Amino acid sequence: MKLTHDPASAWPTYMVDGYPFGIESIGPRDHVIFRLWGSRRVYLRDQGFISRAQAAAYLESMVETYKNSIITAVSA
């Protein structure tokens, strides 16, 4: 899972490359995860994480679930 910096955000924000998920640092020890729905951010937990690495580890399983739910081909 590759995180890229999003310079358009007011807070330090890192997006998961190719997926609608990200991590936003709202304080020195408070990182929250979100999912994009159109242009809106929907925050996925009421509680934050104390480090970006901890948030990324939690988010990684969510990205894998998202990837596995995408239908790539249908055969008849």
pLDDT tens-digit profile of 48-70? 899 999 999 999 988 999 988 88
Residue 73 located in a structural domain: no
pLDDT-based confidence at 75, cuts 50/70/90?
confident
**pTM of the predicted model as reported, rounded to 2 decimal places:** 0.82
Nearest to 33 by CA among 9, 52, 6: 52
The answer to the question of residue 61 being in a domain is yes
Residue 56 lies in a domain: yes
75 within a domain of the structure (yes/no): no
Residue 76 lies in a domain: no
Residue-wise pLDDT for 5-51, tens only, equals 999 888 999 999 999 999 999 888 899 999 999 989 899 877 789 99
What is the number of domains present in the chain?
1
- Please tell me the predicted confidence (pLDDT) of residue 12: 93
In a domain, 74, yes or no: no
Residue span of the structural domain in which 45 resides: 3-68
Alpha-carbon distances, residue 2 vs 34, 52, 73 (angstroms): 16, 13, 25
